[in-house]
């Protein structure tokens, strides 16, 4: 176990990629605070992860609100006495062309995905600066590297995460804190595969959602299949250990994109 007795805070840990990353960290012996806007889901994740023999703390927090973010970080510190790893994963999507997009749509997505990551990093780095080091891992997207139709506002929010991550890594030079981003490709969570997800939106006439999903995997992903929350967990464990990797935005996308 490579992270024994370390403490991690994972946002959006109630399901999907956040839950997968929290589980991977726990398998390495890390205690985890599990934050989500949906407390019931965070509590469920905490219950499941506690079976791995680590300590868990479910927390309710909306990462787009600085008061709630500050409370999430101070509660984590008060409970565990340390914060070594922060995974800023919580995010939302909405699927609209720029013609359909309203000012409110833009603000909603960017307030969670971009501003939320900023607020979390700011609160977490204060704790890590005081303790002399840490690992910050932001969950961006391949939509933070290139554009996609119907997702301009989401892409803008994820490009922001990539730029912010690289800038913060440079700002935190010689602090012992590394700052990196993971860029998932297509992970068939609710975000992709749910009733309002992309597979539904990009369905051809007469196609089922399963057929749409299969066609997109064949078309877009050289390896021919989507990724899993566990794939993201593997990279998170690597970044949580790595001392000399910082300022990077690493794709886990089956070869979908290059840079
Ligand atoms: P998901 O919808 O399954 O899970 C997101 C979690 O974040 C949920 O538990 C939700 O309750 C929580 N959340 C939403 N808004 C929140 C807020 N304001 N404060 C706190 N928690 C909040 O999505 P996912 O697929 O697991 O996505 C996780 C991250 O990965 C997101 O940042 C997403 O943009 C990114 N991502 C996902 C994919 C994919 O294909 N699924 C691809 C690239 C990037």
Does the domain formed by 7-187+228-252 have CATH 3.40.50.300?
no
pLDDT digits (tens, 9 = 90+) for 236-258: 999 999 999 999 999 999 999 99
Question: What pLDDT does residue 202 have?
Answer: 85
Testing ligand 1's pocket by substitution, the residue of 9, 10, 11, 12 carrying the most ligand atoms inside 8 A of its CB is 12
pLDDT of residue 193 exceeding 80: no
Q: DSSP for 4-35?
A: TT-EEEEETTTSHHHHHHHHHHHHTT-EEEEE
How far does the centroid of ligand 1 lie from the alpha carbon of residue 174, in Å? Answer: 31
Res. 190 pLDDT band, cuts 50 70 90: confident
Question: What pLDDT does residue 201 have?
Answer: 84
Q: What is the ipTM of this complex?
A: 0.99
Average pLDDT, the chain: 96
Question: What pLDDT does residue 195 have?
Answer: 72
pLDDT of residue 191 exceeding 90: no
pLDDT of residue 197 exceeding 90: no
Rounded CA separation 92/44 (Å):
20
- H/E element holding 216? helix 209-220
Q: Which of 154, 192, 193, 213 is catalytic?
A: 154
Is 154 a residue of the active site?
yes
Which of 65-69, 188-192, 198-202 shows the highest mean pLDDT? 65-69
The domain ranges of the chain are 7-187+228-252, 188-226
Q: To the nearest whole percent, how much of the chain has pLDDT over 70?
A: 100
Testing ligand 1's pocket by substitution, the residue of 91, 94, 165 carrying the most ligand atoms inside 8 A of its CB is 91
- How much is the average pLDDT of 203-223? 90
Atom of ligand 1 nearest to the CA of 116: 18
What are the distances in angstroms from CA 196 to CA 7, 95, 191, 192? Answer: 35, 8, 8, 8
3-state secondary structure 240-251: HHCCCCCCCEEE
Rounded CA separation 211/207 (Å):
6
Rounded CA separation 26/196 (Å):
31
Closest CA to 162 of 135, 181, 186: 181
pLDDT digits (tens, 9 = 90+) for 86-125: 999 999 999 999 999 999 999 999 999 999 999 999 999 9
């Amino acid at each position: 176990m490579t992270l024994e007795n370390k403490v991690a805070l994972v946002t959006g840990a109630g399901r999907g990629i956040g839950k997968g990353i929290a589980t991977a960290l726990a398998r390495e012996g890390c205690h985890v605070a599990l934050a989500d806007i949906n407390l019931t889901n965070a509590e469920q994740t905490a219950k499941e992860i506690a079976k791995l023999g680590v300590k868990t703390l479910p927390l309710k927090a909306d990462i787009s609100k600085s008061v709630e973010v500050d409370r999430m970080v101070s509660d984590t510190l008060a409970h565990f006495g340390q914060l070594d790893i922060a995974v800023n994963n919580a995010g939302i999507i909405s699927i609209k062309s720029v013609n359909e997009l309203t000012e409110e749509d833009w603000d909603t997505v960017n307030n969670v995905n971009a501003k939320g990551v900023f607020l979390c990093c700011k609160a977490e780095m204060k704790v890590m600066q005081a303790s002399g080091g840490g690992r910050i891992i932001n969950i961006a997207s391949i939509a933070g590297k290139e554009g996609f139709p119907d997702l301009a506002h989401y892409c803008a929010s994820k490009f922001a995460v990539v730029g912010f991550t690289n800038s913060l890594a440079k700002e935190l030079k010689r602090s012992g804190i590394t700052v990196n981003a993971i860029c998932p490709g297509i992970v068939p969570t609710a975000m992709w595969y749910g009733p309002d997800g992309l597979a539904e939106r990009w369905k051809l006439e007469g196609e089922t959602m399963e057929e749409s999903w299969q066609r997109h995997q064949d078309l877009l992903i050289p390896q021919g299949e989507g990724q899993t929350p566990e794939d993201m967990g593997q990279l998170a464990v690597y970044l949580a250990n790595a001392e000399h990797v910082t300022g990077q935005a690493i794709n886990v996308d089956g070869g979908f994109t290059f840079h």
